[in-house]
Amino acid sequence: MSLLSVFRLPKVVPALFVCGLVFSSSSSAAISLEQQRNLYDQAQDWLDEDDVAAYQKVRAKLKNYPLAPYLDYRAMLVNIGKKSPQQVREFVHNYRDYPFSARISAPYLTALAKEKKWQEFLAFQHHEPIGESFQCDYYYAKWVTGDQKSAFRGARALWLKGDSIADECDPLFRAWAQSGGRTDALIYQRMLLAFDARNPNLISYLAQKLQDQDMMQWGMNMLELYSHPQRIVYFAKRFPHTSQLGDLIELSIKKVARSDAKKARRLLNSVKELPHWREKQTHNLARYITLQLLHDDDQTLVQWRDSVVAASKDPLLVQIRTRLAIRHADWQGVKAWISLLPKHEQESLRWQYWLGRSDMELGLKAQGTKRLSKVIGQRNFYSVAAANALKQSIHYPNHEVNYRAGVVAPYTKALDRIDELIKRDKIAAAKREWGWLLDRVNHTEKEMLAVYAANQHWYHLTVTASISASLWDNIELRFPLAHQWWFKFWGNKHNVDPITLMSVARQESALDADAHSSVGARGIMQIMPSTARYTAKKYQLDYSGADELYDVGKNIEIGSHYFKSLLKRYDKNRIFALAAYNAGPARVDRWRSETQGKLGPYAFIESIPYKETRGYVQNILMFEVYYRDLTGTQGRFLTSMETQARY
């Protein structure tokens, strides 16, 4: 399928946009753009020293410089605790078109709390703020100003957590405890939360706060059962069945189940006949134990496990059990388990594909062909899989966007700022501006902004706008042809398909060269610094450290080397290599040992136990389809080797 006519990105009207930057003629004559940039940097230096007076002397000269409002924000932060709530509120209103208007509350509340200006704190913050520290300050301010009822209600809610709580909460909790609000019953309730959160240190700390002798005994019981949860039957026989015992039974059996589900099931059988034991407790524990057993083939437990799944009709349990049937090529079982899913789930492309495959495997060719034919023609992994099963061509919907420059004209100032931030290498700020803008425009405007970003070669911003606008069927906007030279250069050098590398980058970072994940992966191909060091050392690459991973060329160089090593490890099989890039080679090797070469490619992908990795592999294989169509590159969804291999 050719996509050359999907849409044409028009040249942006020069009168409206000049490299994304607009200045009045008089301003340009008075001071050049480069001079404004230098003056802006100088003003930033002054504000680093809290020299607001020096900044104010040059502010007028920066009137038309797109980033000047950022100086106003920094100036506002200087001694912000001295500002009145009205001043800060007016600043937020006047700068409501800028993302920093939503961020100024945090430093202001922090300053007010530090200076113990509780009246001003509540005058500015009329409702519970976001963030634990600010919430504690908010309720402490309530207590200081006489609203004890609200303060202690907030303290109780904040305190009842299984994890440690911010130090800012200590004054509030002291006042609450001294008033008698922190009872033994609440302490024990929090100990249960800590047990569930796997926080033994907090359990031990709280046990020391108990006053009542009976509650102290239950605290000691909990500590012992956390260390030795298998002793729960002994405790169940020794102590009267109270709510305290019931809670400990559930938590202890769950803890056992995480390491030994078979033993947990035996414990459940031992306690479920206790007086006052509720059927709901049996159901909850049976479900929890079953989740641990869904990848266990022990025949002594299979019947019990399957009976729990069937009785529960829990979509999550049923889907996992269906994948287990696929893994065992139990095609009758696949159909039976899918029939237990909610109707809308059964009708999804995923399960219609597997029903069709099951029909084909069971000799019901006409029925299977009919079902698979209905799946074809969608922008979906299972649609392509169905087309391959029936040896039909791949096609999917692809919609045009007719660009109208006038739609984005009202947002010229915001676009100017984004352009200047990108040119000044302030990428994080540019992304914040873009997100702020997208959150405040309608659907049509989002579409036009996506095209505008594509025209500016703002690759990551194009992707985020296409997602925000739900442009799922516009392939050109969702999959920009970013950094082609680097992908082709390193792909060809390492004999790795550049299309695969592009697809990995699109999945990993949405083409964000500045991406930094919560676990530390960096850059366009989201490489961990440890992986980069290992790869650079192994292949003798020049590599100066983790910050270099934000360089597109270096990131793709290291990423392509690493991916090549995975392809080599798995005999050029992309399914294994992609799964390993996401979940690690050790996990992929374990999954292969469990399936023992009994599966085809689609069944193996479906049987991957991690939802993230399963979707990761499916997405990248689909992204390759789109990129091949966009670039006019020939290629198959799965190679002959990948199709014929056993998994």
- The count of other CB atoms within 10 Å of the CB of residue 550 is 17
Report the pLDDT value the prediction gives residue 24, as an integer from 0 to 100: 38
Answer whether residue 435 is part of any domain. yes
Q: What is the mean pLDDT of residues 93-108?
A: 97
Please name the residues in contact with 634: beta carbons below 8 A apart, sequence gap of 6 or more: 628
d(CA 149, CA 155): 10
Residue 527, strand partner residues? 522
Residue 438 and residue 515 share a domain: no
Total residues belonging to the chain: 647
| Of the candidate ranges 191-200, 264-273, 417-426, 445-454, the one whose mean pLDDT is the lowest | 264-273
β-pair partners for 516:
522
Residue 368 has pLDDT above 60, yes or no: yes
Catalytic residue among 508, 548, 557, 642: 508
The predicted pLDDT at position 579 comes to: 98
Residue 631 within a domain: yes
Segment 401-426 mean pLDDT: 96
Question: Are residues 513 and 525 both part of a single domain?
Answer: yes
Query: Could you tell me if residue 69 is inside a domain?
Result: no
Per-residue pLDDT at 519: 94
Q: List, in sequence order, the alpha helices (H) in 540-610.
A: 552-569, 574-583, 585-595, 601-607
d(CA 266, CA 524) in angstroms, rounded, equals 50
Q: Where does a domain end: 456, 478, 500?
A: 478
DSSP annotation of 340 reads: T
Residues 512 and 638 placed together within one structural domain of the fold: yes
User: Residue 596 in 3-state DSSP?
Assistant: coil
What are residue 17's DSSP bridge partners?
none
- Is 234 domain-assigned? no
Question: Buried b vs exposed e over 196-221: b needs ≥16 C-beta within 10 Å?
Answer: eeebeebbeebbebbeeeebbebbeb
Pairwise CA distance, residues 200 & 249, whole Å: 17
Contact 321, 337 (CB under 8 A): yes
- What mean pLDDT is predicted for residues 111-121? 97
Judgement on whether residues 474 and 494 belong to the same structural domain of the protein: no
Residue after which a domain boundary falls, among 346, 363, 390: 390
What is the CATH classification number for the domain harbouring 529?
Answer: 1.10.530.10
Task: pLDDT band for 6, please (50, 70, 90 cuts).
Answer: very low
Q: What is the mean pLDDT of residues 448-462?
A: 98
Residues 619 and 503 in one domain: yes
User: Which pLDDT belongs to residue 276?
Assistant: 78
Closest CA relative to residue 456, chosen from 499, 531, 405? 405
Please tell me whether residue 370 adopts helix, strand or coil conformation: helix
Domain residues for the domain of 349 are 316-390
Total domains in the chain come to 3
Residues 468-489 have a mean pLDDT of 97
Q: Examine the domain organization and report whether 455 and 503 are in the same domain.
A: no
Pair 146, 175: CB distance under 8 Å: no
On whether both 487 and 461 belong to a single domain, the answer is: no
580-606 tens-digit pLDDT: 999 999 999 999 999 999 999 999 999
Task: Enter the DSSP assignment of 342.
Answer: -
Cα 525 from Cα 64, distance rounded (Å): 37
Average pLDDT, the chain: 93
Name the domain boundary from 478, 497, 523.
Answer: 478
Residue 606 inside a domain? The answer is yes
Rounded distance between C-alpha atoms, residue 321 and residue 306, angstroms: 8
C-alpha span between 554 and 566 (Å, rounded):
19
Is there a single domain that holds both residue 599 and residue 500? yes
Check which CATH number belongs to the domain holding 348 and give it. 1.25.40
Residue 518 lies in a domain: yes
Dihedral sign, CA of 489, 493, 494, 495? positive
- 627 has pLDDT over 60: yes
Q: Angle 339-343-344 (CA atoms, 0-180°, nearest 5)?
A: 130
Per the CB < 8 A criterion, the answer to whether 236 and 249 are in contact is yes
The closest alpha carbon to 375, from 390, 362, 363, belongs to 390
348 and 411 together in one domain: no
Q: Do 599 and 530 share a domain, yes or no?
A: yes
What is the C-alpha separation between 502 and 71, in angstroms, rounded? 38
| Catalytic-residue membership of 508 | yes
Same structural domain, 364 and 502: no
Looking at residue 241, its pLDDT comes to 79
**For residue 457, is it within any domain?**
yes
Which residue pairs from 34-37 have beta carbons closer than 8 angstroms and sit at least 24 positions apart in sequence? 36/61, 36/62, 36/64, 36/65, 37/65, 37/424
> Could you give the C-alpha distances from 359 to 289, 373, 377, 578, 631, in angstroms and in order?
32, 13, 20, 29, 37
Residue 622 and residue 605: Cα distance in Å, rounded? 13
Extract the tokens encoding 524. Answer: 């366009």
Q: What is the CATH number of the domain that holds 427?
A: 1.10.1240.20
Q: Indicate whether 512 and 616 sit together in one domain.
A: yes
> What is the C-alpha to C-alpha distance for residues 615 and 605, in angstroms, rounded to an integer?
9
